[in-house]
């Protein structure tokens, strides 16, 4: 039975989650609200999460920030990391060096999500010192049971990214981690090329002595490939670690891809698109994933709040995405955040090197973009007057050998997300 009004049980966090599991969102929210008002930091975080993402209640991001600030003031690291995610959007909170301060507090406390995020940040720096730091951070998170960091750490061991002189864990430790992943059904990540593994992305010059958020968010200069449709390429937008991060996060979520019906606005499977994909609900995001998306948004020249949920796709031999356009029909817009408008721009990042095939083809422009790990293709779906650009017809050509992984963000004309 729910606690009486004003009464807070001994374990409000657990009791609220029990209500949530039973589908009783109202009781969970009321319980966390009462506990939060009494100063319970963990319930302040859960209340804020519900308000941020609209879980069972109308979204109220500003009220959520109030509760997160109160919880952070009590030293709650989950609150600090949620504030990192909000700041990455540069809408409700500025995307500034406070992000680094919060992440480093999490690292000092050995919070797995902070360790993973900072490891990814350092992995963008090509210096030996930064790479050693990234490896240590992934190892620390792996030792605390984080499966994603475990995959990233094991990949570093197997590819030899650890520099000579590093204190490499014993073979038994690494074998034990690999066995744990295998027992859980976690598949090995696709290998990246030496180029994408070791190259330092253009514009990045952040040494390991400090966590430079602005340097992390810097993006390479785009190369114009076509003026109609507008198509640009960005070489080295993501480093190898970020590519592996997205693949590792997406792998357990992969489902058969669907296509949005332009008439009904509903998704349905079609031979037009034969890949598998994973869509990241905002509730599944973490600091590392949000920061990677923040740089993708900067590359697109649009706020992250304009982006639909991140999609990661996997194409196996013979799979393809036949010629199509990304902009939406009126019914599809009406069913999904009509206030956000149409899909203005698409950003696709190749996450691994494909043995053969898998290029992105723009038929009207006579253009093919070959997949290379970490590189991105950016193109407009609408004309300057806001009308659909029929010249934006494009296709993901069939994979001939190997496998192709791709991350996609579709950006609307106006805000789609709450932050």
Arithmetic mean of pLDDT, 300-305: 98
Binned at pLDDT 50, 70 and 90, residue 183 comes out as: low
- Check whether 375 has a pLDDT greater than 80: yes
Tell me, rounded to whole angstroms, the distance of Cα 53 from its chain centroid.
16
Of the candidate ranges 187-196, 211-220, 291-300, 365-374, the one whose mean pLDDT is the lowest: 187-196
Question: Of the candidates 306, 314, 240, 227, which has an alpha carbon nearest to the alpha carbon of residue 279?
Answer: 314
Write down the pLDDT at residue 192.
57
> How many of the other CB atoms lie within 10 Å of CB of 248?
19
Does an H or E element contain 271, and which?
none
- Check whether 353 has a pLDDT greater than 60: yes
Binned at pLDDT 50, 70 and 90, residue 196 comes out as: very low
Arithmetic mean of pLDDT, 379-387: 98
Write down the pLDDT at residue 158.
78
Mean of pLDDT over the chain: 88
- Check whether 175 has a pLDDT greater than 80: no
Binned at pLDDT 50, 70 and 90, residue 187 comes out as: low
Q: Is the dihedral of CA 49, 82, 245, 183 positive or negative?
A: negative
Arithmetic mean of pLDDT, 61-86: 98
> How many of the other CB atoms lie within 10 Å of CB of 64?
25
- Check whether 5 has a pLDDT greater than 50: no
- Check whether 194 has a pLDDT greater than 60: no
Arithmetic mean of pLDDT, 52-71: 94
Instruction: Name 183's Cβ contacts closer than 8 Å, sequence gap at least 6.
Output: none
Looking at residue 163, the DSSP 8-state letter turns out to be P
Instruction: Name 146's Cβ contacts closer than 8 Å, sequence gap at least 6.
Output: 112, 113, 115, 116
Does an H or E element contain 138, and which?
helix 128-143
Write down the pLDDT at residue 163.
43
pTM: 0.89
Question: Of the candidates 206, 207, 294, which has an alpha carbon nearest to the alpha carbon of residue 242?
Answer: 294
Render pLDDT for 74-118 as a digit per residue (tens, 0 to 9): 999 999 999 999 999 999 999 999 999 999 999 999 999 999 999
- Check whether 14 has a pLDDT greater than 80: yes
Instruction: Name 172's Cβ contacts closer than 8 Å, sequence gap at least 6.
Output: none
- Check whether 138 has a pLDDT greater than 90: yes
- Check whether 245 has a pLDDT greater than 80: yes
Render pLDDT for 147-158 as a digit per residue (tens, 0 to 9): 999 999 998 887
Write down the pLDDT at residue 164.
38
């Amino acid at each position: 039975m729910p606690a009486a009004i004003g009464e807070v049980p001994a374990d409000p966090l657990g009791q609220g989650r029990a209500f949530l599991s039973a589908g009783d969102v109202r009781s969970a929210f009321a319980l966390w609200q009462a506990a939060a008002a009494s100063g319970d930091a963990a319930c302040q975080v859960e209340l804020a999460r519900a308000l941020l993402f609209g879980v069972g209640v109308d979204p109220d991001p500003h009220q959520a920030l109030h509760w997160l600030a109160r919880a952070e003031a009590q030293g709650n690291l989950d609150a600090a990391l949620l504030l990192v995610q909000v700041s990455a959007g540069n809408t409700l909170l500025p995307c500034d060096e406070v992000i680094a301060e919060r992440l480093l507090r999490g690292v000092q406390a050995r919070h797995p999500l902070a360790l993973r995020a900072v490891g990814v940040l350092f992995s963008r720096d090509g210096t030996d010192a930064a790479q050693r730091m990234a490896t240590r951070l992934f190892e620390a998170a792996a030792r605390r049971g984080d499966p994603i960091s475990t995959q990233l750490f094991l990949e570093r061991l197997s590819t030899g990214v650890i520099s000579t002189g590093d204190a490499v864990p014993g073979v038994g430790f690494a074998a034990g981690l690999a066995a744990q992943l295998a027992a859980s059904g976690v598949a090995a990540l696709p290998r990246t090329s030496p180029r994408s593994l070791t190259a330092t992305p253009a514009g990045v010059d952040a040494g390991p002595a400090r966590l430079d958020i602005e340097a992390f968010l810097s993006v390479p200069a785009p190369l114009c490939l076509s003026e109609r449709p507008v198509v640009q390429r960005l070489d080295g937008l993501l480093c190898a670690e970020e590519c592996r991060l997205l693949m590792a996060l997406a792998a357990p979520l992969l489902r058969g891809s669907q296509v949005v019906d332009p008439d009904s606005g509903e998704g349905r499977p079609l031979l037009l698109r034969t890949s598998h994909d994973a869509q990241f609900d905002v509730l599944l995001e973490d600091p590392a994933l949000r920061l990677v998306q923040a740089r993708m948004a900067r590359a697109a020249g649009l706020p992250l709040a304009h982006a639909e949920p991140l999609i990661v796709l996997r194409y196996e031999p013979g799979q393809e995405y036949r010629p199509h356009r990304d902009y939406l029909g009126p019914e599809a817009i009406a069913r999904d955040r009509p206030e956000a408008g149409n899909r203005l721009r698409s950003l696709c990042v190749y996450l691994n090197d494909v043995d053969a095939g898998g290029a992105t083809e723009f038929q009207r422009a006579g253009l093919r973009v070959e997949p290379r790990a970490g590189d991105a293709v950016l193109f407009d779906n609408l004309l300057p007057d806001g009308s659909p650009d029929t010249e934006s017809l494009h296709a993901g050509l069939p994979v001939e050998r190997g496998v192709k992984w791709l991350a996609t963000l579709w950006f609307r004309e106006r805000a789609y997300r709450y932050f």
